[in-house]
Amino acid sequence: MKDTIVELKQNIKDAAAREEQAKQDVKRIEKDMNEFKNNKDSKLQQLQVLLIIRQSDDRNKSTSSKLP
- DSSP label at residue 39: T
Helix, strand, coil proportions of the chain in percent (round to 5)?
A: 95, 0, 5
The per-residue pLDDT for 41 is: 79
* Each residue's pLDDT tens digit, 4-54: 999 999 999 999 999 999 999 999 999 888 887 877 778 788 888 988 998
- How far is it, in rounded angstroms, from Cα 35 to Cα 41? 11
- How far is it, in rounded angstroms, from Cα 61 to Cα 55? 10
pTM: 0.52
* Residue 43: partners with Cβ closer than 8 Å, 6 or more residues away: 36
Q: Where are the domains of the chain?
A: 2-63
